[in-house]
Each structure stands twice: as C-alpha cells, then as structure tokens.
Structure 1
Amino acid sequence: MSRKEWLAISFFAIMLAGCAAPGPAKLYEGALRPAAETAMIRLPEQVQVMALDGQEQTGSLLQRGQLLAVLPGEHVFSLRYVELFQINSEEHEVVRSRQSALRFTAVAGHEYRIEMDKQGSLEVARKFAKDPKFRLVDESSGAVTESTAIKSYAEASLVDTITKAFDSSDSKTQGPTHLDLLKDVWGRASPEDRAGFRVWLDQQPK
C-alpha cells in the first residue's frame, strides 16, 4: 500500500468516526431504556465485540472504541483484538487475535470498561494475538473480571453454560456432582458445541 493510499484510508476513517451517531450502541431488544436501567460498557479502539451471549454481531456493532448498553444480568462477550501497525511508508500489518470469552454480571446503573495490555510493538502484538487476555473493570467497585480464550461463538456459549452449572452446584449443600452436570450439558449440546468443547478441553492443563 502506498503512502497516499494509507493517508486516504486514514482520512476516511476519521471522517466516518466523526459522523458516527452519538450515544451508546444498544445491545438489547425492545424500546430504549433509561441509563439507570442498563449497564454501560466502554470498549478501547483495539477491541471488537464479535458476539454477545452467543449471538454474532454484525455491521456497526463491530466498530471499535464504542460505548455499549446492555441489560442487567449475566452476559458473555466474545472479544477480538485488532490493531494496525505501520511497518514503513509502504507497508502495514493488521494483527487480529483469536477470540476470547468474557463472562460477567452487569448491574443496572453501573459503568464498565474493557481493558487489555498495551501492545508496544508488532512482535508483542503477534504474541498477544495467540492468547489474548481482556479485563472488564467495574468503574464503581473496581472489581475485575478476566476473559477465557475460545475459538468459536458456540464454544463461548458452552463454556458459559458449564460455568453457570458449576456455580449453581457450588451454592447448594447437596445436589448433582460436577460429572453429572457435565453429562447433562453434553447430552443437550449441539454437534458444534461438542466440537468447540473438545477443542477447549484439549487446550486445558492436564
């Protein structure tokens, strides 16, 4: 890519950003709700939301550096790191990471921000892209939630289902074992979910 082409792309990107509609992107169905009834999540420029609660996002929701509005409750973001590095006046490289699942509980009226370590060089970014780590910080309490690496939206959904089942089991003095819960989830999982879980399981420490 020539320097002129690079400058032209940068110019149009700035123009599009300036024309973007103000206010948060609404990630829920139904009528617009007051800010006190939703949770606001701020994204850095280098992070894209690929899916929310297993539902793939498209169009404007793939833009970066946004403010998002979600309903209170448990959610799972599938996130991806994307950053452009200018190698020289003629060359550049766009680094895109694998996806990472971030499960969190949104509280109405709270504001959150998604963070990641700053990538100071192309080599560092390439390494980070292989195993990206994101953090969700509650602006009110300072509580931090960290992400888990995944390879598909289905895998994010399955990881979330299993985690919720474990949390439910841990809160009871008696009930099904973790093995029972795994068998139950496996029996209800789709072929895509099972394939995603096998990949995730292979990556876990033995």
Structure 2
Amino acid sequence: MRVVHVFRAALTVLALTVVAGCSTAVTKLETWEGSPSAAAEAATLKAPGAIRVTRVNGRSMTNYLMDDLALDYALLPGENEVVFTYKTIWAKSGVVENGESKVHVIKSEPQVVRFDASASETYRFEFDKPGSRREAEQSMPEFSASIVNAEGEVMARSTDWSSTRQAQAERTPLSDGQASDGQGMSGSAGAGSLERLKATWQTATEQEKKAFLRWAFE
C-alpha cells in the first residue's frame, strides 16, 4: 500500500508540474506566421478564462485541452480582427444523475471585434458579468464585449460574427471582367458565385469547413 501511495503522490506532482509548465509556456501566444519585423513591438491582448479566442486575422488559434485558461495574445501593430466566444459556468442544484454534467454551461455565439493596436500597448476584454444563471441566459443572445487599453479607453466593441461574415459575403465584389449575371471572362456560369464561395471559405471556422466538405463529397 505504501508503494501505491507513493506512486499516486508522484503522479500528482508530475501532473502539477506539467500544468505549471504549460501555463508559463503558453501565457503569450503569437498570432502571426513567420518572423515579421514588427513582432518586436507587438501589442498584448489579455483574455480571461471566460473568453476563448478562436481566430486572429483569419488564423485559427490553438485549442488547448485545459478550458478556462487565461491567455495573452501578441498582436502586430495595426488593424487586428479577433474572433472569440464567451461562456459562463453555473453549478446545478439538486441531485445529478450518473453521467450528467454537474454544471450548466452558457455560451455566446461567436463574436468579432476589430481595432487598431498600437506598438507595445496592452489591451483587455471588458464585459458585463451576469450575477445568476437566469441573468446569463437572458443576456447571452445580446452579449457583446469591449476592447479597452491600459487607460480604460474603449477601442472597439464586438458584434455577432455570423452576421458580419454574411454581410461580407454579400458585399464581395466580382473580379474584373465578370458580368453581373455571374458569367466570367471565359463565359462560364457561376464565376461570381465561386469568388463569393472563396471569400466565405477564408472566414469559415474549421468545424464549418469540415461540415461543408462532408456535404460536398457525400
């Protein structure tokens, strides 16, 4: 029995060490590819555990195994687009049956916010926190968060991402030489629709892309 207790204790210490190592290693995530010169003056966006950033400037962010992990994101100076979701967790009252979750998870629809980041500046999310599960359920459909700088000045406010993507797809202009009826320069039908599809694909989530591919190849 002593050996078993020692083994369990060793596993616990190892697990805590791994978690601690992960938390320090991923506290600041780069949101770009390559080695841009502006990276030396990157701004910082601080996201609490309730906010999960899924995309920055069209690039998917890493999905970590640990939820509710507060992370800092390094942003290049200039305009940035951040897509995120917000969730709250509330304990269930009463008896919970086997296999049933012990908490209520209330999650927002994907949100998008765009703002100009200044070199070496620090930004954070600011939003109203519900005081109860009922309040969270009632307010979640209209949820919105602000991006504020170190002085507390509001830089931008988020909007629903799905509506924004739909509007972008509808506003996507036809390429040069394409007729308004969808005929391309070569006369093939549907060229305009193809351009819109390409634009929508670039802003789609990984789950949406997988769902589309399953549909396309059925």
Q: TM-score, normalised by structure 2?
A: 0.60
Structure 2 runs not aligned, ≥5 long: 1-11, 97-101, 176-191, 204-218
User: Which of 14, 18, 21 is equivalent to 2:20?
Assistant: 18
Change in 2 beyond 3 A, CA 1:93/1:112: same
Letter aligned with residue 18 of structure 1: A
Structure of higher CA gyration radius: 2
Mapping of residues 165-204 of structure 1, within 5 Å: 182=171, 184=173, 188-190=195-197, 193=200
Please state if 1:51 is matched with 2:60.
no
Change in 2 beyond 3 A, CA 1:32/1:84: farther
Whether the aligned pair in 1 keeps the contact of 2:50 and 2:68 (CA below 8 Å) is no
User: Which of 73, 79, 91 is equivalent to 1:74?
Assistant: 79
Match of 1:130 in 2: 141
Letter aligned with residue 59 of structure 2: Q
Change in 2 beyond 3 A, CA 1:184/1:131: same
Q: CA deviation at 1:105?
A: 1.1
RMSD after superposition = 3.7
Letter aligned with residue 157 of structure 2: E
Letter aligned with residue 80 of structure 1: T
* Larger deviation, residues 127-136 vs 89-98: 89-98
Mapping of residues 54-133 of structure 1, within 5 Å: 54-60=58-64, 64-88=69-93, 90=96, 91-133=102-144
Separation in 1, partners of 2:108, 2:37:
33
2:53 partner SS: strand
Structure 1 runs not aligned, ≥5 long: 1-10, 163-181, 197-206
Letter aligned with residue 57 of structure 2: D
Q: CA deviation at 1:185?
A: 6.8
Change in 2 beyond 3 A, CA 1:129/1:191: farther
2:45 partner SS: strand
**Deviation readout 1:33-55 (Å, 9 max, x if unpaired):** 79751000101221111211233
Change in 2 beyond 3 A, CA 1:52/1:94: same
User: Which of 155, 170, 193 is equivalent to 2:165?
Assistant: 155
Separation in 2, partners of 1:65, 1:96:
17
Match of 2:3 in 1: none
Q: TM-score, normalised by structure 1?
A: 0.63
Change in 2 beyond 3 A, CA 1:28/1:132: same
**Deviation readout 1:120-156 (Å, 9 max, x if unpaired):** 111111223222201000114723310111228x818
Separation in 2, partners of 1:24, 1:47:
15
